[in-house]
Amino acid sequence: MEDCLFCKIAAGEIPSNKLFEDDRILAFYDIDPQAPVHFLVIPKQHIPSAAALTEENGPLLGHVFATISRLCKELGVENGYRVVSNVGQDGGQSVPHLHFHVLAKRSLAWPPG
């Protein structure tokens, strides 16, 4: 999608600090980290948010979560992690392309603000 920041990152038109990439997804470090480990996982396909997901996206989501689990092991995450997908204005979404935040290596408060 034109003028979508994460589509441009997925296409390599804007550089990112990549952790993993395949034909369907890209994992890269967040530019403004909120934890010692903070990376994002995005589908290469433009999906505006988790609110736009359908049953057909099940395999993609399984791939996203399996990749997150593997990357956390590779990064030495031992005490758990948080996966967050902000949706819309009240959810705090600032980039309208589906992404999963992965935060780790510090104790995370609950409930979030």
List residues near ligand AMP by CB under 6 A: 5, 16, 30-32, 86, 92-95
> For residue 22, how far is the Cα from the chain centroid?
14
Binding piece for Zn ion, criterion CB under 5 A, among 5-13, 33-41, 55-63, 73-81: 5-13
Degrees to nearest 5, angle at CA 19 with 14 and 20: 95
Picked from ligand AMP, Zn ion, none, the partner binding residue 67 (CB below 5 to 8 A depending on kind) is: none
**Residue among 46, 63, 97, 99 flagged as catalytic:** 99
Two tokens, residue 47: 């999906």
**Cβ neighbours of 55 (radius 10 Å):** 5
Cβ at position 45, least distance to ligand AMP in Å:
17
- Residue 41, C-beta contacts closer than 8 angstroms, at least 6 positions apart: 25, 26, 27, 64, 67, 68, 99, 100, 102
Q: Cβ-closest residue to Zn ion?
A: 4
In the list Zn ion, ligand AMP, none, the entry touching 86 (Cβ below 5 to 8 angstroms by class) is ligand AMP
Residue 48, C-beta contacts closer than 8 angstroms, at least 6 positions apart: 96, 97, 98
Residue 32 binding partner per list Zn ion, ligand AMP, none, with a CB distance cut-off of 5 to 8 Å that depends on partner kind: ligand AMP
Site residues for Zn ion per CB under 5 A: 1, 4, 6-7, 46, 97
